[in-house]
Amino acid sequence: MEPQRETYRPPWLLWVEAALAIVVGGLSLYREITAQNDGSDLRADPRLAPVHQAQLLEAARAAYAILRTPEFAAALTGAAGDRTIYVSRDRGERSAEVVLEDLTGRGRYLPVRLIMMDPAAPQSRGHYAAGGGLGYVSQDGEIHLPLDVLADWAADDLVQRSCAINTLAHEIAHTISISPFVFTPAFTDTRLGERAIPRRGEGDSPVASYLIGSAAQCAWLQQQGRITASEMGACVEVFGARGFNDRCAAFTAGEPVRERPGLPPPMRPL
């Protein structure tokens, strides 16, 4: 048997192969780090019954999907008008175009765990989101929700169901980062225990997270045929762009979704 001959490989070729491997691996990691969560990277609270986990995931995926629709963009820009929008403590106010770019292009959505809050715990009727850490894979975002969200989504009335979309879209906004490697929230408002956004002026500019929630809610209602495009601005006004107005059960008789006497009072603006 003739002995095998070793193929000579010059040192520079080894360096080229190593460099290519680093580049390919780096690009793969970068794609993963900067990937958008399209609503499929969700986990529901395992303490919930399977049917309730499925309902919660269905509502959250509907909220993710609505943020990328022309109906949502029209609702957000129409409600903002010529005004700038308060986006975060670090960035202050920005245009509606910047907000939409954060939502559909520049922003990075964290994977999310949907957690139901203990009804007996303080703040159990509130909701909040948390995120942080270095890199995409180091920490998921968490959205803590009251049981009311499940009740809203399971309701027969479309407007009440849409309030679950509002809550989830609002909290999803808090899990968007404008940095690919370090979690830098695109949208902030108040922290737990705060009654107002610190250092925010008394202007009438919308607060991005609340505007996103109401615009998503009303865009979903338009998709369901409950309101028309011409009613979008009135709908966003009803549910609020500087805080959430809890009027979920005020339209069960099919009333137009717009301001009218007798509605529950609006939230004090943030």
The pLDDT tens digits of the residues spanning 202-235 come to 667 999 999 999 999 999 999 999 999 999 999 9
Distance CA 45, CA 47 (A): 5
pLDDT, residue 134, reads: 40
Distance CA 190, CA 109 (A): 20
pLDDT, residue 189, reads: 87
Distance CA 21, CA 89 (A): 41
Residue of 243, 263, 232 whose CA lies nearest to 189:
243
Q: Give the number of other Cβ atoms within 10 Å of residue 143's Cβ.
A: 26
* Position 136, amino acid: Y
Query: Which one-letter DSSP state was computed for residue 179?
Result: S
pLDDT band for position 136 (cuts 50, 70, 90): very low
Domain parsing of the chain, residue ranges: 37-239
Distance CA 77, CA 236 (A): 11
Mean of pLDDT over the chain? 85
For 195-246, the DSSP string reads SS-TT--S--PPBHHHHHHHHHHHHHHHHTTSS-GGGHHHHHHHH-SSS---
Residue 187 has pLDDT above 70, yes or no: yes
